[in-house]
Structure 1
Amino acid sequence: MTVDSQGAVSTAPPDAPRGAAGTANTPPPLSGTKDVLQPPRGRRVLPAGLLPYLLVAPAVLSMVVLLVYPLVRNVILSFQQVNRKELITRKPEWIGFENYSELLGDPDFWSVVVRSVGFTAANVVVIMGLGTLIGLLLNRLGKKMRLVLSMSLVLAWAMPIVASVTVFRWLFDEQFGVMNWLMRTLGFSGYDQHNWFETGLSTLTIVTVLVAWGSIPFVALNMYAGLTTIGTELYEAARMDGAGGWRTFWSVVFPNLKPFFMITTFLEIIWVFKAFTQVYAMNAGGPDRESETLPVFAYITGPGQGHYGLAAAISVLTIVMLIAAMSFYFRLILKQEEQQ
């Protein structure tokens, strides 16, 4: 202990370094003001909140160029008469709503609309039903069998559409098809060079099998991914209450995966309703245009027959009908978000 010239007592050892006025170990007083970091000179600082908009600007610009501009041009084209003559002279004639009135008064157009709605409904029911069952199967299988089935689903999903159409046309070929051979082997008569594409209904049935075959893997794999998020204690509680398989599904699985079913159904309706390649590549909308859906109908009317203004009106009406049909699902999604 030492006593300095001011009479203050210090407990520091004599050889300790001394500061000014005996404040060797006293920390400097805190300042009431904070130091503000200044940007380096010559560098501009972006205004607050501008950076996120700059980051999404390329995506927005791409959407405008690739989606919005063609859609606007298509709507404008639907109000014009653009046939082969106008396409060559590049002098379209404004005709207002004549294309729409012609379509709405055409019974063939409404036949295609009914056919498209039925085709979409049948596909979505098959895809969602079988996809859900396969997803449940994936959740119950062992590791090795689950891997084999998952790889098979991925291969079916990744197969190009034109290649899959080629395979299905060979399967249902009139002369060398596997299906005719299988039906004859099973003892059915009348399948010697049977034409499976003889009617529009049989053609759309084959297309339905093709579309479902390519879309079920998406639903099944997503269903399995959703099932992994459900806790095992919920299944155990259901078993203790004596619930069977279907009761467990409706009381445990479906309520927990309701958002999955809504979003997946929403996506499948859009994908199936606008399916073009499968229908056109299978039989070009035939026979006698009996298997045409709205996208195929628009293509045959436009590039096929040269009525581009009328085809644009078909595509606009297709978009309007799809939005009207999906508004129901939008309301369900919003209602579910409010309940949460």
Structure 2
Amino acid sequence: MSAQTEEAAAQAAPRTGKGTAPPPASGRGAGARAVPYLLILPAAAVTVLLLGWTMVKNGLLSFQNLGRRQLIRHITEWTGIDNYGNALGSSEFWRVTGRSVLFTAANVTLIMVIGCLTGLLLARLGTKLRLLLSLGLVLAWVMPVVAATTVFQWLFDQRFGVVDYLLDRLGWHAMAHYNWTGSQFSTFFVITVLIVWQSVPFVAINLYAATTTIPKELYEAASLDGAGTWKQFTSVTFPFLRPFFLATTFLEVIWVFKSFTQVFAINEGGPDRLTETLPVYAFQEGMGSQHFGMGAAISILTIVILLALTAYYLRLVLKQEEDEL
């Protein structure tokens, strides 16, 4: 009886030895694997609806000659790639592109340096001072872009600006009633201060949050080895947070490169269109010059540049992962 029972149990048990096929996946397991895709489906659908269709319409518009005459007469004039050829063959386009790259590089460098120093300061402050500084950073971060730009316009106003008043009282009398938007350099200075002021909180708070994940034993070991503050940063903090630095720098490059509101609201790309970046240039060519096809083509080229930057970033990430393996 016992031998027969054991033999029957052995025959009924699932065969999991080498060379046997695994049991088929249950419907419940397949449904569980589909849950993440179902959860992101609404967000993906809204993104495609709001951005995808707009991109398609903008792409079609870039192949048209659309101006005031075409709008009034409701006609469509397809021009192929003429808009792209005219844009790429224009010296002004490449001048604005170079200006945009330099503007982005300067802003991102300042943002990362000041943001990282502020984040490291948060990690060393006491609880009360850290809470106070974090509150100030959050308030600066959540302020709407238009509101922040308006405040900076008041601060640097030629007649009633606080900045000119303080500089005059401190002894720089030549700065009294100084026109900050009268030259290319001074206008870019105001825009840079505004963008850096808005971006530093994001970097600082994220860096501080990332430093809390570093094991304290690493700093204790480095301190026992005689490492100072700078050595601890280069040997412990920076290697541990390298993915954070890479990802945050990439996000800041995209955010600064495509910034439109700050540049346009401060002086509409002036004086004499000397502070136009690619987004402002596309708007001025499209809306200002009433050549909407050209504006659409320039905006598409701007997106292509951002995609090239994204591809370069992904290449760096993959290379870093390969090095870690």
Q: Is the shorter-chain TM-score for this pair beyond 0.5, marking a shared fold? A: yes
Q: 1:265 to 1:91 in 2, by over 3 A?
A: same
Indicate whether 1:151 and 2:135 are aligned: yes
CA-CA distance at 1:229 after TM superposition: 0.5
Give the secondary structure class of the aligned counterpart of 2:160.
coil
Cross-structure match for 2:146: 162
In the TM superposition, structure 1's runs of 4+ consecutive aligned residues that sit over 4 Å from their partners are 29-34
User: How far, CA to CA, are the matches of 2:64 and 2:58 in structure 1?
Assistant: 10
* Identity between Structure 1 and Structure 2 (%): 54
Q: Which amino acid aligns with 1:292?
A: E
Indicate whether 1:303 and 2:287 are aligned: yes
User: How far, CA to CA, are the matches of 1:181 and 1:263 in structure 2?
Assistant: 40
Give the secondary structure class of the aligned counterpart of 2:173.
coil
Moved more, 179-188 or 264-273: 179-188
User: How far, CA to CA, are the matches of 2:228 and 2:157 in structure 1?
Assistant: 44
Gaps of 5+ in 1: 1-28, 35-44
Q: Which amino acid aligns with 2:198?
A: G
Residue of structure 2 aligned with 1:265, choices 249, 252, 271: 249
Indicate whether 1:330 and 2:314 are aligned: yes
Give the secondary structure class of the aligned counterpart of 2:315.
helix
CA-CA distance at 1:143 after TM superposition: 0.4
Indicate whether 1:128 and 2:145 are aligned: no
CA-CA distance at 1:60 after TM superposition: 2.4
Q: Which amino acid aligns with 1:254?
A: F
Which structure 2 residues correspond to residues 176-191 of structure 1 after superposition, within 5 A? 176-191=160-175
Residue of structure 2 aligned with 1:82, choices 61, 66, 72: 66
CA-CA distance at 1:33 after TM superposition: 7.1
Moved more, 205-214 or 162-171: 162-171
CA-CA distance at 1:46 after TM superposition: 9.1
Which structure 2 residues correspond to residues 195-274 of structure 1 after superposition, within 5 A? 195-274=179-258
Higher-Rg structure is 1
How many residue pairs align between the two structures?
302
Which structure 2 residues correspond to residues 23-172 of structure 1 after superposition, within 5 A? 48-49=30-31, 51-52=34-35, 53-172=37-156
Q: Which amino acid aligns with 2:108?
A: V
CA-CA distance at 1:220 after TM superposition: 0.2
Q: TM-score, normalised by structure 1?
A: 0.84
Give the secondary structure class of the aligned counterpart of 1:96.
coil
Residue of structure 2 aligned with 1:193, choices 156, 161, 177: 177
User: How far, CA to CA, are the matches of 2:146 and 2:107 in structure 1?
Assistant: 19
Q: Which amino acid aligns with 1:82?
A: L
User: How far, CA to CA, are the matches of 1:335 and 1:308 in structure 2?
Assistant: 41
Q: Which amino acid aligns with 2:241?
A: L
CA-CA distance at 1:32 after TM superposition: 8.4
Q: Which amino acid aligns with 2:250?
A: F
Deviations 1:131-171 (A, max 9, x none): 00000000000000000000000000011111111111111
CA RMSD of aligned residues (A): 2.0
Is this contact kept in 1: 2:181–2:267, CA < 8 A?
yes
Cross-structure match for 1:290: 274
Gaps of 5+ in 2: 1-7, 14-26
CA-CA distance at 1:74 after TM superposition: 1.3
User: How far, CA to CA, are the matches of 1:48 and 1:246 in structure 2?
Assistant: 51
Q: Which amino acid aligns with 2:130?
A: R
CA-CA distance at 1:304 after TM superposition: 2.0
Q: TM-score, normalised by structure 2?
A: 0.88
User: How far, CA to CA, are the matches of 1:145 and 1:213 in structure 2?
Assistant: 20
